[in-house]
Amino acid sequence: MYLRLSTAALALLGSAICTMADEVNVYSYRQPELIQPLADGFTADTGIAVNIAFVDKGMAERLIAEGKRSPADLVMTVDISRLMELVDAGVTQPVESAVLKENIPANLRASDDEWFGLTSRARIVYASKERVKDGEVTTYEDLADPKWKGRICSRSGTHPYNVALLGAMIAHHGEAEAKTWAEGLKANLARKPAGSDRDQVKAIWAGECDIAIGNTYYMGQMVNDPEQKEWADSVRIVFPVFEGDGTHMNVSGVAMTKAAPNKDAALKFMEWLSEDHAQKIYAETNYEFPVKLGVPRSALVESWGAFTPDSLNLTDVAKERPAALRIMEEVNFDG
Ligand code: FE
């Protein structure tokens, strides 16, 4: 017999299936290649299955629509603003855990326990080994200097990574100065923003620009890709700072959903993600910085050198997201 189920019935069925013992259901904005080894490691250690639904966009809307019947226990994503968006939408719940508090430094988790950072990353400059001298790039502010005219490549100004960077600029200097900076940066672009962070490094390799803004871990990914290794070899990593402060940081993180049908198992997975085994997987397979003290960065990441992280609180950076987006549009960054 052909059975036709309504969406509501399907959701009910889904939540009935997923509330069976010893399972955790994750909605993830992060890519399957990275999350699956973590899920597999957790299952091997605990016997608890992890079901992952990879979501492209609209996670908050989806969780709101599903309401109490949502099968999701956890959400995983990169970028502080995406975490805050879920918290602000009211689809998460605070988690009380001594393990999470011990493993994750206070500046990398919410003060109200609504989200927890699992890795951090720096947004840095990739500089041409041939055309940029050592010490020529020092601050983010300097990227707006006309001396870089026609020499900078960047992905879209409205990508969350760049919105967060501009948000940090606003938090440091105020909106007016940040807008002047964004105008200056745009005026220095060698081409219209397009593509990924790695595409900007490729453009340096191809001679289209001399410096690019990108996240640290992409260097690790490029070095290990036969085609992209050449791009990586054409640049070095420079850790710019905000004047008088440090290098812009962002996180990837996790939060428990308000509906969480498998709360105990979900908490176990959250805690496991903050422990050594998982933190090493993040460090070695994706070249991110572990948040847990004492877990080493990968040797490759270490080879990029030491730097001072910016002292801004990430929640304060996320608060500037609407202003940063508006400025990116006002200066027509992608135009
Ligand atoms: Fe990324």
Distance 17 CA to ligand 1 centre (A): 33
Cα 288 to Cα 120: distance, rounded to the nearest angstrom: 6
Residue 205 Cα to ligand 1 midpoint, Å, equals 20
Left if phi > 0, otherwise alpha if psi is -120 to 50, otherwise beta: which for 244? left
Q: How many CA atoms lie within 13 A of 62 on its CB side?
A: 17
State pLDDT tens for residues 10-57. Answer: 444 444 444 446 999 999 999 888 899 999 999 999 999 999 999 999
Give the 3-state secondary structure of residue 138. Answer: coil
Residue 199, both tokens? 């595409």
Displacement of CA 256 from its chain's centroid (Å): 18
Residue 131's pLDDT is 98
With pLDDT > 90 as the criterion, what percentage of the chain qualifies? 93
Distance from the CA of 247 to the center of ligand 1, in angstroms?
Answer: 17
The Å distance, Cα 266 to ligand 1 centre, comes to 25
Is-contact 297 290, C-beta < 8 A? yes
Q: What is the 3-state secondary structure (H, E, C) of 42-93?
A: HHHHHCCEEEEEECCCCHHHHHHHHHHHCCCCEEEEECHHHHHHHHHCCCEE
CATH 3.40.50.10280 matches 2-120+250-296: no
For 69-107, how does the pLDDT look when each residue is reduced to its tens digit (9 = 90+)? 999 999 999 999 999 999 999 999 999 999 999 999 999
Cα(12) to ligand 1 centroid in Å equals 34
Angle separating helix axes 160-173 and 80-88, nearest 10 degrees: 90
Residue 304 is encoded by which pair of tokens? Answer: 């990029």
Does 200 have pLDDT greater than 60?
Answer: yes
> Strand, coil or helix: what is 119?
strand
Lowest mean pLDDT among 1-15, 101-115, 142-156: 1-15
Q: For the chain, first and last CA: distance in Å? A: 55
Cα–ligand 1 centroid distance for 215 (angstroms): 7
CA of 5 relative to ligand 1 center, distance in Å = 38
Pick the CATH number of 121-248+308-330 from 3.40.50.300, 3.30.530.80, 3.30.930.10, 3.40.190.10: 3.40.190.10
Among 308, 321, 328, smallest CA distance to 124 is for: 308
CA 297 to chain centre: 17
Per DSSP, the three-state class of 326 is: helix
> In terms of DSSP bridges, do strands 249-257 and 152-153 run parallel, antiparallel, or are they unpaired?
unpaired
| Predicted model pTM | 0.90
Instruction: List, by residue range, all CATH 3.40.190.10 domains of the chain.
Output: 2-120+250-296, 121-248+308-330
Mean pLDDT of 272-286: 96
- Note the pLDDT of residue 21: 60
How far away, in angstroms, is 158 Cα from ligand 1 center?
14
